[in-house]
Amino acid sequence: MLGLNSLLCLLLFATSTPAQSTDGLYSLVKRRLPNHVDDFHFTIDKSNFTGTEGYDQFMVSSAPNGSVLVKGNSISALSSGLHRYLTDIAHVDIYWFIGSRLDQAPSKLPRLAKPIQGSSTVPWRYHLNTVTFSYTMAFWTWEDWENQLDWLALHGVNLPLAWVGQEKILVDVFQEIGLTDAEIATFLSGPAFQAWNRFGNIQGSWGGDLPRSWIDQQFALQKKILPRMVELGMTPVLPSFTGFVPMNTTRVLPDAQIVRGSQWAGFPLQYSNDSFLEPFDDNFAKLQSSFISKQRAAYGNVSHIYTLDQYNENSPYSGDLDYLRNVTLNTWKSLKQADPDAIWMMQGWLFYAQSAFWTEERIEAFLSGVEDNNDMLILDLFSESAPQWRRTKSYYGKPWLWCQVHDYGGNMGLYGQLSNITVNATQARIESSSLVGYGSTMEGQEGNEIIYTTLLSQAWSTTPLDTEQYFHDWVTTRYSGCGSMPRELYDAWEVMRTTVFDNTNTSVTSVIKSAFEIRPSLENIRVGFQSTELTYDPSIVVQAWQSLYQAASLEPKLWTNPAYQHDVVDVTRQVMANAFIPLYLGLLSAWNTSDSSSLSKEGDKLIDFLGDLDTVLLTNSNFRLSKWIKSARAWADGDNAQASFLEYNARNQITLWGPNGEIADYASKQWGGLISTFYIPRWRIFIQYLKSTPPASYNTTDVTSRLMDFEQKWQTETWTEPEPSADAENLEKVLNGVRSRWTTVFGER
C-alpha cells in the first residue's frame, strides 16, 4: 500500500534530476584512494531493490578476487554504501578541517564476511543554511569545495544548498531591466555578508562596493560546484528571484508595486529596509522567469528545487490573511511559469524567529497559497530545540525536513543534543506522514562534526542510533593509523557523549560561547540566546582532556595524527574557555573590594591566561585568524585595494558585524591571532578602566566608547604574520608548558 509519505517521495524524486552514471564515484575513488582505483566496482541496480520506492538502498559485498562490490538504486545509495565500507571495515574517513584520510586505507582491502546492507528511512538528506555560505564558506576555494562535496556524498547528502555565484545571475537580470552598475552596487553586500543580502535583511556594502571581479570569480566557482554535485548523485537547491530589488528600481519600473521591508538588527536605513517587489505585481513573474532562464543557460538543467525566503527575520508588509496568501500564491505561480517542475524550498525559521507575528492562522494562510502541497518543501530549521512542525500540523500537509541548526554564527564551543537528533528525529518521522528528510542547517560549520554525522547516519536507521556504539566506532576510525588505540581515546569521547554532547537544559539551545569573546563589561555571562552558561560540569571536559593527553603518552604516534592534533587543541581550547569565567569573576571581585593590588594581580593573570590560549591555538592552522584573512585576501589576485576590502569584510564579520557593531561578537571565533590582536587588547582597555574607576563611578557609555574606538581601528588594519617562536608548532611542548603554568585548570591525574 502506497502511503502519503511514499507518494510524496515519488513525486519529489520524479522532479529531481539525479545523475545515473557511476563515473563520478570512480573519480572520487581516484581522488581519495588512488591506490585502490581498480578495487571498487559500482553498479546501479533498481530491480533488486524494491519495496521502498523513493528511498535509497545499497548492498556492499566482496568479490572472489577481493574487490569491493557496491550495488544500489541511486548514486547517493552507492556513495553511502562506499562510506559504510570505508568507515566500518577499512576504518578510514574524510573530515572537516583535517581533510581526507581515505588514502590511509590498508594496502590490501579487508574482505567482508557478509554483505553490508542499508536502506534510508527518508528520501532526502539535506545540508547547509543560507548563512553558512557567509559564516564558513565566504572565501572558500575549489579545493575547499572539493573536500566538502566528497564529504557530503559519502555521508549520504543528496540535497545540498548551492548559493555560490548567485550575484552574477541577479546582476544580469537587473541590467536587463535597465538598472545601472551604480544602482545595483547600492544593493549588493560584501562577500562576508552576502547571505543576509540574499535574505533581504541588508543591502549595500559598508567598507566599499562589491567588486565585479568577485562576482565573476564566484560564478566561475559555481560552474565547478554544480557539475560535481550532480555527478555525485546530489540534487542542488538553486537560488531564485526572491523579490528584493535595488532602491532605484522604480526608475525603470515606475508603476511597480514596491514596498520597503522592515529594519533588521538595528542597521541604519542605508543598509536595511530592503525594497521588495510584491509578487502579485506582473513584473515579479517576469524577473523570476528571467532569473531562472539565465541560471539554466549558465548551469544546465541540473535541478528543479529552488530556495526562496522572503520573510527571514523580516516582517511582511501586512498581516492580513488574504495578503499573506496572495504573496505565496503569486510567488509559487512565478516559479511554475519559469519552470513547470519547480519545487519551492523555504526555511521555516520565520515561524520561530517571529512567532509573535506568525500565528497559526497566519501560517496556514501563508502556506495555503501554494495550492499543490508537492510543490513546496519546508525546512523545519531548528527542530532539535524549537520544532515548529507540531504547532503547524506538519506544515498543513506540505513536505518538510527535520533539521538542526545547532550552531549560531560559527561559534566554536563543544556542544550537542544527541538525544534530540536521534530519538526526537525518529519520533517525528514516525508521527508525521509528510516528513521527507533530515537536514543539517548550521549557521556556521565550525566544529562538533560528530553531531552532524550522527544526524545524517540517523537517516539510515529505523530506530534511534545507539550513540555509545556510534561514538566508539567513530573514535576507532578517526584515529586509525596511529598504531595502538589506547582506551583513553574512547574514555575521552564517552565522557563527553553523555554530557557535553547531550544537553538537556532547554534554556540553552545552541553552541555555547566563552565570556572572553564578548565585549568586556560587568555582565559578560549570558543566559539564553548565545549563552555562556555551561550545560555540564566543566570538570567533565578536564577529564576528557586528561584522557586525550594520557593517550598520547601511551601511543606517541598520536602526536603526528592530524585528527588527534586537531582534537586535542579543540578540547584544550574548551577547557581554557571554561576556565575563563572564574578569572573574570575574580577580576570583578577584586575591583568591587577596591583592592588595587589584587586587581592588578587578577588583571595580569587574566591577560596571561588568554596569551597562553592564543599560543595553543596557533599550533594548528585550523584555529588561526591568519587562515581566514589569507583566504579572503587571496581572492584579490594581487589587487591591493581589493585585498584590503576583502580583509575588512573578513575582520568585520567576526568582530563588529556591521559598520557600527550592530550585532557585535555574534560571529566571534576562538582563534589564535584573534585573541592576541583583538580580545587581549579589549580586556586590557577594560582592566585599565577598572583600575582608574571606582565602582561608584563606573560608566557603561564611557567604557563602551573606549572599546569601540579600538574595535573600529582594528577593522581597517592589514594582517602581518608574526614571527613564529621556535616551538610554535610543537604541540606537545606547548601543551606541557601551558599545563604546568595552569595546574589548577588542567587538574592532576
Confidence class of residue 12 from pLDDT cuts 50, 70 and 90? very low
Residue 10: domain span? 4-119
For residue 427, being part of any structural domain is answered with: yes
377 in the same domain as 509: no
Confidence class of residue 528 from pLDDT cuts 50, 70 and 90? low
Nearest to 682 by CA among 664, 719, 656, 708: 708
Are 444 and 482 contacting, i.e. CB atoms less than 8 angstroms apart? no
Nearest to 122 by CA among 80, 183, 175, 94: 80
Q: What is the CATH number of the domain that holds 82?
A: 3.30.379.10
543 in the same domain as 619: yes
Are 470 and 458 contacting, i.e. CB atoms less than 8 angstroms apart? no
611 in the same domain as 504: yes
For residue 261, being part of any structural domain is answered with: no
For residue 220, being part of any structural domain is answered with: yes
Q: Which among 396, 430, 465 is the end of a domain?
A: 465
573 in the same domain as 516: yes
pLDDT greater than 80 at residue 589: yes
Supply the mean pLDDT for the chain.
Answer: 95
Q: What is the CATH number of the domain that holds 220?
A: 3.20.20.80
For residue 602, being part of any structural domain is answered with: yes
pLDDT greater than 50 at residue 15: no
Confidence class of residue 706 from pLDDT cuts 50, 70 and 90? very high
% of the chain beyond a pLDDT of 90: 92
For residue 155, being part of any structural domain is answered with: yes
Q: Which among 119, 138, 171 is the end of a domain?
A: 119
Per-residue pLDDT tens digits for 299-308: 999 999 999 9
Q: What are the DSSP calls for 493-511, one per residue?
A: HHHHHTTTTB---TT--SP
153 in the same domain as 102: no
454 in the same domain as 546: no
Q: What is the CATH number of the domain that holds 575?
A: 1.20.120.670
Per-residue pLDDT tens digits for 361-392: 999 999 999 999 999 999 999 999 999 999 99
506 in the same domain as 398: no
Strand 57-62 versus strand 116-119 pairing type: antiparallel
The set of residues, in sequence order, having a beta carbon less than 8 Å from that of 80 and lying 6+ positions away, is 56, 58, 72, 118, 120, 154, 155, 156, 460
Per-residue pLDDT tens digits for 450-482: 999 999 999 999 999 999 999 999 999 999 988
531 in the same domain as 566: yes
Q: How far apart are CA 275 and CA 10, in angstroms?
A: 38
631 in the same domain as 497: yes
Per-residue pLDDT tens digits for 80-116: 999 999 999 999 999 999 999 999 999 999 999 999 9
For residue 396, being part of any structural domain is answered with: yes
Are 205 and 189 contacting, i.e. CB atoms less than 8 angstroms apart? yes
Task: Please give the grid coordinates belonging to residue 745.
Answer: 585548570
Strand 400-404 versus strand 435-440 pairing type: parallel
Task: Please give the grid coordinates belonging to residue 368.
Answer: 495555503
491 in the same domain as 413: no
Per-residue pLDDT tens digits for 534-550: 999 999 999 999 999 99
**Between 244 and 6, where is the model more confident?**
244
% of the chain beyond a pLDDT of 70: 96
Cα–chain-centroid distance for residue 71? Answer: 31
Q: Is the pTM of this model over 0.95?
A: yes
pLDDT greater than 70 at residue 728: no
What are residue 502's DSSP bridge partners?
Answer: 417
3-state SS of 359-413 is CHHHHHHHHHCCCCHHHEEEEECCCCCCCCCCCCHHHHCCCEEEEECCCCCCCCC
499 in the same domain as 351: no
Q: How many domains does the chain have?
A: 3
612 in the same domain as 566: yes
For residue 675, being part of any structural domain is answered with: yes
pLDDT greater than 50 at residue 11: no
Are 746 and 739 contacting, i.e. CB atoms less than 8 angstroms apart? yes
Per-residue pLDDT tens digits for 430-451: 999 999 999 999 999 999 999 9
For residue 470, being part of any structural domain is answered with: no
Confidence class of residue 19 from pLDDT cuts 50, 70 and 90? very low
pLDDT greater than 50 at residue 297: yes
Q: How far apart are CA 264 and CA 254, in angstroms?
A: 26
pLDDT at 9: 45
pLDDT greater than 70 at residue 669: yes
Strand 94-95 versus strand 244-245 pairing type: unpaired
